Structure 1
Amino acid sequence: MSDAIVILSGASRGLGAALALAACRPGTLLVTLSRGAHPLLAQQARRSGCQHRHYAVDLSDPAQTETVARGLFADLPAGAARYRLINNAGTVEPIAQAATLDAASVAHALHVNVAAAMLLTAAFLAAAPAQADRRVLNISSGAGQRPMPGWSVYCATKTALDMYTRTVKLEQRGSGLRIAALAPGVIDTPMQARIRATLPDAFPAVEDFKELHRGGRLAAPADVATRILDYLERDDFGHADIDDIRHY
């Protein structure tokens, strides 16, 4: 019997991969959702005494996401003491000025950054035992609080995720559920490499991100992942509904 069950979306690379590797702990059942599995995760799980299940899913497809979520939660053990959902999946695309946006790229971002978190949380709320310690962590961004030209879609989706978090907290008041949205800071991931490759016409702040990289001011994914998992287990988790890991 697992003491803790951790469900993590977007676990194949970047911060998500670092979170998955860091969450491989004895007594934990780690459930990951992404299109592909991280190549080192199964080995890390065996070495650490962690159970691991992976569900291959395209989180930009709401129907597929909902189907997988229902199946995932129907198969979860009911007797764990702690249940954790980390909605980490996200995309910075499209990086473009508002006048050039198209329907497909906007819909893709909305589904990955917002709808997937909503659908996974809905399944989690329905399935995780009310008597257990239940916590939901939505990985947000400072972009949800600060508008940036070229990131109209990204900023809007992160703002939506923040407001969704606040609303769920109000709905679940008195239920024992704890929920928060957390900005992870600027991390050395493939997403940052994609940002630095953007043309200034599409994203005028690109030089600022290049300077962060040149100055060695990007946080290491493994370090941030460890701090996020520690944050998730804090006694005061959920007191702040919108938070930033750089405060800790």
Structure 2
Amino acid sequence: MGAVSRMLVWISGASAGIGAALAATIPYEAEIVDLSRRGGTPGTQHVAVDLADPASWPLVEEDFTRRLADFDGDRVVFVHNAGTLTPLGPAGVVDTAQYTRNVLLNSAAAQVLGHAFLQAVDGRDFEQHLMMLTSGAALWPYEGESSYCAGKAAVDQWVRAVGLEQQRRKPGCRVISVAPGAVDTAMQEELRAAAEEQVPNARRFRELEATGGLARPEDVARRIWSLLNRDVPNGAVLHVQDL
């Protein structure tokens, strides 16, 4: 895809976990925007938003539009990484308000913000990349994680459909999703701390940590960034282990 001299990147949830690792390991000169509640990640500009609240989504759309208005660089990227496992436990038992926030962040926000990004870059003459962070939970049902599983499955199917659409656009945006695998983040801590009645498979996650089966966020982030220069088809749903 040629040398890149100027680059604009948005990362949702860049204040911790894989998002923070993505900001820390980006192998390009870039302006990085962190879309999150907390912020504080070095080298990023923070837009304070709670992406589980639909009232925040227009703020992100406005930020896309404002920064792109005078952008004359070579490559624009949006990595939608923000997600949540909370609440862990069976549907019909967990807190309704928390369950609703999970659905809004993991499923609805991904689609609405992805749409907003595509609208903002449509017809612009620079490389365009939209990367969604997904999970093996999109394929395999896990008790206690119903809304998370459903949200990630929705993201993957959205990527497949929109990837087909973008093949018809000129220049078009490359839209892909990538599953990072088991990574040493706060999400894994949450799973390890879960009671058996919340997540019957919690013991497996404790064993993963004990046996050194968790990847370092920085290592996973570097693999994700490598996708920008790989010949990956539009609409691809990938796993870092395949890279």
Matched ranges for 1:77-92 at <5 A: 77-92=70-85
Q: Which structure 2 residues correspond to residues 16-165 of structure 1 after superposition, within 5 A?
A: 16-23=19-26, 25-26=28-29, 28-39=30-41, 41=42, 45=43, 52-76=44-68, 77-128=70-121, 129-165=123-159
> Are the equivalent residues in 2 in contact too, given 1:11–1:37 (CA < 8 A)?
yes
Q: Secondary structure at the match of 1:223?
A: helix
TM (norm. structure 1) is 0.89
Equivalent in the alignment of 2:223:
227
CA distance in 1, matches of 2:104, 2:14: 17
Task: Output one character per residue of 1:181-233: Cα deviation in whole Å (capped at 9) or x when no partner.
Answer: 11001000111011100001111100111000000110001111111111233
Q: Deviations over 1:50-108 (max 9, x none)?
A: xx421011111112122232234323343121111100000011210123134312210
State the one-letter code of the partner of 2:207. E
1:32 alignment partner, SS class: strand
Q: TM-score, normalised by structure 2?
A: 0.91
**1:130 CA displacement:** 2.9
1:94/1:154 contact within 8 Å kept: no
Kindly indicate whether the alpha-carbon contact (under 8 Å) linking 2:167 and 2:234 is maintained by their aligned counterparts in 1: no
Does residue 209 in structure 1 map to residue 212 in structure 2?
Answer: no
Gap regions ≥5 residues in structure 2: none
Deviation at 1:24, TM superposition (A): 6.7
Moved more, 126-135 or 210-219: 126-135
Q: Which moved more, 1:13-22 or 1:101-110?
A: 101-110
Which residue of the other structure, out of 214, 218, 243, is the alignment partner of 2:238? 243
**Count of equivalent residues:** 236
2:11 corresponding residue in structure 1: 8
Aligned equivalent of 2:180: 184
The CA distance in 2 between the partners of 1:246 and 1:9, in whole Å, is 23
